[in-house]
Structure 1
């Protein structure tokens, strides 16, 4: 890797916490702190664009330090109802997602997101619920592929029935940017993208982790900011698997790599 792997100690893990906050309850100070984190890892970004994107979200999971209560990471969220043919479903879209380097490898954000989607699932347990995400970096894709049983796109070609879900939310949230032939979202040459030293794909990583290789094959232009839209079905089995995995504390080598963000063009409030 181009950056040294980081293993947080118990002090780092216990010094932060994460909670979901509706967009109208995020303060100006917190927005400034969110942007300070964001600009550390992204090129072609500015405060105005960041605020426009944030205004298109319903809320965010904020990761804060205990004591100072400073924002050191976040993940923005849009929840929306979906009608795809005869299917009526609910989708949880993850937008910008980033955490400061000192806290890479912690599971604080994943646990907070788990609690959010658990509440969504319990509201209507028999209605399909999907995690909608766009992957600018390989780590975002691994969060999906390493934790979900049913997801698309899949390295083994599984779950092709989920392809219409991807097309549906891309056309709804990002009209004009989805290319059905390549299966990627393209926001243009000056799109926000990860800086060169964040989540690079080395030959070693490409060879040792087939899912990383698959991500690059599906999104070969990721370095300039194109996004691979993905979907995972959130079932009770998926949620139980997450609980068991968190209880064991086991993570693969790929899981321990730095978490990149997943910013995109701001979707309109349509939920």
Structure 2
């Protein structure tokens, strides 16, 4: 275990599964105490009705060498978030890392449907889940984080400012707006907290092998390559551990302020910090998508992982 984050406290908001779980565990691997929040617990599931729970993530954090603390929190409810932050303050007296990974809008993602034909209530719900939750959480957590210089805020999104420069017609306007809003949150919070000696940025995984994505292809993390028969480009995919190690590397880097206000990808950060995915590779999904998928070239990850 790398003990670079021993004595540090992190909050991974939206840590039930996917990138959030990968980030929480990677922070635990470096010794951090990690508060894991979400709405799915062993006592009941969120409307996503998936089996993953915050308790499982917290146990994985502890098994990795840190200390995982599960706290059921609906991040659309300011009172619940305020109580969470008050608890962290009472128990730890500090917050060193805030990761905003709240999402939960998968049921509202739609393809091949014009913006005006999509249900308005679903689109607005997506924006609430993807943006309002982040605003509420940062608004209530930043007073604790900026109390000590060196704090880090990571906004988890899909794509960087460079890769999202053009409109992402699929999955459409609501999705595009949600992900761009989170990019801007990384930029704007950077300006707000820099005078306190703190850092904020946005980080994007590549093609993430989340639990839901694996279920979509009918595979597991151990058998994920079986999905290549159906989708050859899935060969560039990455595990949640990869983006987790990206965030952990940032948190452990005393020079992380050089990233303030930027948007980064897991693949790009891997080239700088030298970490790998679980198979020892460094998948560069976004460059692969731009250079192989978009031009319609045959799947070939040579030089991309």
Q: Scaled by the length of structure 1, what TM-score is found?
A: 0.30
Higher relative contact order (CA 8 A, sep 6+): 1
More helix as a share of residues: 2
More strand as a share of residues: 1
Q: Scaled by the length of structure 2, what TM-score is found?
A: 0.28
